[in-house]
């Protein structure tokens, strides 16, 4: 099956069974969905048959399972069916249920894999957008759980499961493809420690639990209707849950997910982090349209005002004036800048002093625009309260703002700052003298 296009189900298919936590009977159907739809649950047992997005923003509780909610409408234990859809290469689907929880089956995602295969999978006419992780994403929690995503050209999970007192410490690592998911991950069943059963029942959970749909660990022994399917079945099931929970970020990724003692809480926190980091990455794409109007100056206008020339002209366009007191300019930072080959060539960043110079040039444009100052040159006198807050990298669009603080005779003072994607990267207060050229 090609993986460079989005995929959905070729037809609808149904599965009946008992839910794990509520213990009720439920019928679940998976249905085709259009491009860009993602995964959505639909409660067909409720008035208006409401939808709930499979989105980390909808996560409400994460005790022993992941629960989504939209107002009073809830869907419990969503991770197994989402894991199966994602693992089998489905991007868009509607999951309809006549109850608030999917059937638990045998405690694995294999029943959902079989359902997906029954429905069939078809390619759609839109390229699949997969985010390649370029910088590590890391989180830790107080209970010893850590999850890290590091760059990789494939999607891979590596999981270490550690039970109470170190019991059943297991490790599993695999690339995740539809074939590997079906064979190596989907059959792994959910498990519970015997000492946790009574507290869970007291909380109204696992009402539908039995040795037919879960493995129970008592001491160092395993209680199950059948032998363990893998020597490291618990670690594999943790990987299964992790895949489902991370997909709540709404993004397929290329990256290596490394998890120690994962659980639904930490998993969904990481999903929220992935969603947030993806949004931050996308925000690095500058606006398609540049503000226009009478005060916008293109490069030819800038060259008429400033005496600087390549390679020291650090202003590409003036995009806004607010009266005579504020000016905003743009500098497109490209890998072709002459300073990158010599300034940390293996990790190119724009020198801070050049950001300061860019602020000075924009300040000069603001001052030299006045009729009485035309034809003059602005010379630096001082720079105070200068701060650099984060690196400026090739591909960034630098927005440079300057505001007049005071003018006295030929001495001007401005407060300036540089921004990338709305975040301040550097700032300072500049003083300079305007002299005849």
CATH of the domain at 238: 3.30.230.20
Strands 155-161, 137-140: pairing kind: unpaired
Region at 350 (left for phi over 0; alpha for psi -120 to 50; beta for the rest): beta
Residue 264 known to be catalytic = yes
pLDDT band at 306 (very low <50, low <70, confident <90, very high): confident
Provide the CATH number for the domain around residue 366.
3.10.129.10
**Domain boundaries, position 379:** 299-436
Q: Is residue 122 within a helix (H) or strand (E), and if so which, with residue range?
A: strand 121-127
Say yes or no: 316 and 264 in one domain: no
Q: Dump pLDDT digits (tens) for 341-398.
A: 888 888 899 999 999 999 999 998 888 877 777 778 878 889 999 999 999 999 999 9
Q: How far apart are CA 279 and CA 284, in angstroms?
A: 9
Query: Is the confidence at residue 75, as pLDDT, over 80?
Result: yes
Domain assignment present for residue 144? The answer is: yes
Say yes or no: 216 and 339 in one domain: no
Say yes or no: 250 and 102 in one domain: yes
Both tokens of residue 35?
Answer: 């491009």
Taking all residues of the chain, what is their mean pLDDT, rounded to a whole number? 89
- The total domain count for the chain is 2
- SS3 at position 160: strand
Contact present, 248 and 59 (Cβ < 8 Å): yes
The dihedral formed by the CA atoms of 54, 187, 1 and 248, expressed in degrees to the nearest 10:
20
Domain assignment present for residue 251? The answer is: yes
Q: Dump pLDDT digits (tens) for 259-304.
A: 999 999 999 999 999 999 998 887 766 554 445 455 578 888 888 8
Question: Among 256, 264, 300, 347, which one carries the catalytic annotation?
Answer: 264
Q: When comparing pLDDT for 230 and 407, which is higher?
A: 230
* Measured CA distances, 144 to 106, 140, 150, 274 (Å): 29, 7, 19, 20
Region at 311 (left for phi over 0; alpha for psi -120 to 50; beta for the rest): alpha
Say yes or no: 260 and 126 in one domain: yes
Q: Dump pLDDT digits (tens) for 16-73.
A: 998 865 677 899 999 999 999 999 999 999 999 999 999 999 998 777 789 999 989 9
Indicate the range of 323-332, 369-378, 411-420 predicted with least confidence. Answer: 369-378
pLDDT at 156: 98
Please give the biggest Cα pair distance in the chain. Answer: 92
Q: Is residue 222 within a helix (H) or strand (E), and if so which, with residue range?
A: strand 221-223
Say yes or no: 276 and 310 in one domain: no
Distance in Å from the first CA to the final CA of the chain:
69
Domain assignment present for residue 327? The answer is: yes
pLDDT at 195: 78
Say yes or no: 251 and 346 in one domain: no
Say yes or no: 250 and 324 in one domain: no
Q: How far apart are CA 6 and CA 355, in angstroms?
A: 42
pTM: 0.71
Domain assignment present for residue 290? The answer is: no
pLDDT band at 2 (very low <50, low <70, confident <90, very high): very low
Give the DSSP letter of residue 181. I
C-alpha 348, offset from chain centre:
24
Query: Is the confidence at residue 3, as pLDDT, over 60?
Result: no
Query: Is the confidence at residue 209, as pLDDT, over 70?
Result: no
Indicate the range of 121-135, 150-164, 232-246, 373-387 predicted with least confidence. Answer: 373-387
The dihedral formed by the CA atoms of 87, 133, 333 and 127, expressed in degrees to the nearest 10:
-10
Say yes or no: 324 and 221 in one domain: no
Buried b (16+ CB within 10 A) or exposed e, 33-60: beeebbbbbbbeeeeeeeebbbbbebbe
Say yes or no: 103 and 240 in one domain: yes
Q: How far apart are CA 348 and CA 308, in angstroms?
A: 24
Say yes or no: 331 and 276 in one domain: no
> 233-246 vs 264-282: helix axis angle to the nearest 10?
40
Q: What sign results for the dihedral spanned by CA atoms 398, 404, 408, 409?
A: positive
Domain assignment present for residue 289? The answer is: no
C-alpha 377, offset from chain centre:
47
Say yes or no: 246 and 383 in one domain: no
Peptide bond into 311 cis (omega under 30): yes
Say yes or no: 269 and 337 in one domain: no
Q: How far apart are CA 56 and CA 245, in angstroms?
A: 8
* Measured CA distances, 94 to 9, 65, 83, 172, 435 (Å): 9, 20, 14, 31, 69
Strands 411-420, 397-408: pairing kind: antiparallel
């Amino acid at each position: 099956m090609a993986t460079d296009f989005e995929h959905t189900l070729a037809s609808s298919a149904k599965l009946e069974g008992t839910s794990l936590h509520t213990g009720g009977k439920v019928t679940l159907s998976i249905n085709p969905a259009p491009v860009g739809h993602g995964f959505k649950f639909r409660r067909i047992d409720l008035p208006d048959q409401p939808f709930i997005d499979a989105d980390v923003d909808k996560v409400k509780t994460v005790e022993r399972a992941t629960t989504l909610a939209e107002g009073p409408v809830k869907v419990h234990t969503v991770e197994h069916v989402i894991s199966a859809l994602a693992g089998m290469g489905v991007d868009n689907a509607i999951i309809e249920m006549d109850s608030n929880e999917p059937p638990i089956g045998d405690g694995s995602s294999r029943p959902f894999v079989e359902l997906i295969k029954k429905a069939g999978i078809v390619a759609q006419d839109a390229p699949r957008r997969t985010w390649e992780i370029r910088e590590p994403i890391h989180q830790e929690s107080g209970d010893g759980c850590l999850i890290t995503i590091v760059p990789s050209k494939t999607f891979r999970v590596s999981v270490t499961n550690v039970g109470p007192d170190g019991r059943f410490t297991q490790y599993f690592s695999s690339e995740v493809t539809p074939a590997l998911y079906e064979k190596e991950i989907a059959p792994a069943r959910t498990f519970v420690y015997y000492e946790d059963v009574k507290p869970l029942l007291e909380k109204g959970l696992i009402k539908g639990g039995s040795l037919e749909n879960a493995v129970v660990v008592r001491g160092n022994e395993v209680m199950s209707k059948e032998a363990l399917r893998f020597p490291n079945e618990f670690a594999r099931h943790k990987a299964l849950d992790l895949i489902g929970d991370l997909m709540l970020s709404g993004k397929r990724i290329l990256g290596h997910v490394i998890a120690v003692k994962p659980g639904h809480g930490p998993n969904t926190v990481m999903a929220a982090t992935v969603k947030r980091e993806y949004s931050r990455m996308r925000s690095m794409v500058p606006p398609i349209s540049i503000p226009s109007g009478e005060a916008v100056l293109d490069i030819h206008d800038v060259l008429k005002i400033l005496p600087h020339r390549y390679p020291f002209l650090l202003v590409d366009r003036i995009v806004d004036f607010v009266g005579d007191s504020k000016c905003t300019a743009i500098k497109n930072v490209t890998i072709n800048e002459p300073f990158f080959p010599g300034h940390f060539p293996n990790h190119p960043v724009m020198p801070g002093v050049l950001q300061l110079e860019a602020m000075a040039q924009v300040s000069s444009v603001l001052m030299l625009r006045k009729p009485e100052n035309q034809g003059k040159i602005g010379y630096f006198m001082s720079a105070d309260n200068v701060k650099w807050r984060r690196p400026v990298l090739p591909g960034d669009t630098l927005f440079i703002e300057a505001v007049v603080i005071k003018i006295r005779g030929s001495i001007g003072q401005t407060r300036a700052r540089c921004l990338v994607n709305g975040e301040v990267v550097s700032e300072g207060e500049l003083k300079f003298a305007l002299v005849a050229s």
